[in-house]
Amino acid sequence: MYSLEDELILESRLEELKECLQDQVDLDPQKLIVARASGRANLIGEHTDYNQGLVLPIAVDRDVLVAGVVQEGDQVTLHSLDFQDQVRFGLKNIVYDPAHPWANYTKGVVQVFKQKGYTLSGFVAAIHGNIPIGAGMSSSAAIEVAVATFLEETFGLKLDPREVALWCVEAENNFVGVNCGIMDQFASKLGKKDHALFIDCRDYSYEYVPFHLDSHKVLLVDSKLGRDLASTEYNIRRAKCEEALNLLKSQLPEVTSLRDVTLAQLERMEEKLGKKLAQRVRHVLSENQRVLKAKEALQKGDLHHLGRLLVQSHLSLRDDFEVVVWSWTFWWRVG
């Protein structure tokens, strides 16, 4: 729930966006379109989404705002309040620009909309977010979803929100070059107040799970170890999972993803996989089971059990997946 202070801050941010646009165009407030997309915290289900597994994220009260208006022609002008930077590009020639990485997320989404057959015209937009960048709260997915929502509203498109989330994933995979899974964009587009989002990353089905904190709070603690998916070992971890899957499939043709493997099968194949790949698979298998248990704990309102599962998840990430945990999610009982 947003407090009065939050609403005042939001109003102040919108005024900043309007002032920025007024410097670019003769702004008619009646034609202004504003879109908003949340960041996310993942309760549990780490590195399972790209293995067709299970995840349980929540949307958070940090977001990205996109405000803009249509302009004639095919030129797009973007201004980032966070980076104090401006980028222009034509709809007929959308090119990745390493000098302005923040703009590539918008470019990728615009390109996907065009590839899906939608006719867009030029526009001027300003972007502002209050999600910590590189802290594991999906600021990039929030930009993509906010831009996609802005395009929907601006050009009067009636789209399935799940489809839009998948298009945002496509933009990040194919244009930005980060081989991410679907969780971040799904959580940003489909997140719902007082609910966690249980997502099956194989068939893209999802379910809202009641999430009532009562006398507890969720704390996200920044480890100050920055995370830039495009320049860290994220893609390497994913490639190792794919390598393990191919080795498993050579002996287990019924397996289509790591999700299909049983712990008994993993034990039999451990020598063929080698220690490191076996550890990666073990994390994915155990994490999927923890997600199911976490969903059940939430349905029962058992936050203490959920907390224990979170600790188990972090230990598995550290020991079997060997990743830096850039932000810790845990419970604090109030009073």
Read off the pLDDT band of 225 (50, 70, 90).
low
Q: pLDDT tens-digit profile of 247-281?
A: 999 999 999 999 999 999 999 999 999 999 999 99
Q: pLDDT tens-digit profile of 126-149?
A: 999 998 877 677 889 999 999 999
Supply the pLDDT for residue 178.
85
* C-alpha–C-alpha distance, residues 246 and 258, integer Å: 10
Going by their DSSP bridges, the two strands 216-222 and 327-333 should be labelled as antiparallel
Tokens encoding 37: 């997309």
* Closest C-alpha among 209, 280, 238, 282 to residue 43: 209
CATH topology of domain 4-210: Ribosomal Protein S5; domain 2 (3.30.230)
Length of the chain equals: 335
Per-residue buried b or exposed e for 221-237, using 16+ beta carbons within 10 Å of the residue's own CB: eeeeeebebeebebeeb
Q: pLDDT tens-digit profile of 65-108?
A: 999 999 989 999 999 999 999 999 999 999 999 999 999 999 99
CATH topology of domain 216-333: Alpha-Beta Plaits (3.30.70)
Q: List the beta bridge partners of residue 224.
A: none
Cβ atoms of residues 44 and 313 within 8 Å: yes
Helix spans in 221-274 (H): 234-251, 263-273
Angle, vertex CA 24, rays to CA 19 and CA 25, nearest 5: 95
* C-alpha–C-alpha distance, residues 287 and 313, integer Å: 7
Q: End-to-end distance of the chain based on CA atoms, in angstroms?
A: 20
Other C-beta atoms lying within 10 Å of the C-beta of residue 18: 15
Q: Is the pLDDT of residue 45 over 60?
A: yes
Supply the pLDDT for residue 335.
41
Going by their DSSP bridges, the two strands 123-129 and 33-44 should be labelled as unpaired
* C-alpha–C-alpha distance, residues 292 and 92, integer Å: 46
Residue where the block lists tokens 């966006």: 17
Average pLDDT of the residues in 283-301: 97
Per-residue buried b or exposed e for 98-108, using 16+ beta carbons within 10 Å of the residue's own CB: eebebbbbbbb
Other C-beta atoms lying within 10 Å of the C-beta of residue 176: 20
Cβ atoms of residues 206 and 162 within 8 Å: yes
Torsion-angle region of 26 (φ positive above 0: left; ψ -120 to 50: alpha; else: beta): beta
Per-residue buried b or exposed e for 191-201, using 16+ beta carbons within 10 Å of the residue's own CB: beeebbbbbbb
Domain chopping of the chain, boundaries: 4-210, 216-333
Supply the pLDDT for residue 2.
45
Burial of 124: CB neighbours in 10 Å, binned 0-12, 13-18, 19+: buried
* pTM assigned to the model: 0.87
Read off the pLDDT band of 329 (50, 70, 90).
low
Supply the pLDDT for residue 288.
97
Sign of CA dihedral 275, 277, 283, 286: negative
Q: Which residue did the predictor score with more confidence, 134 or 287?
A: 287
- Known catalytic residues are 184
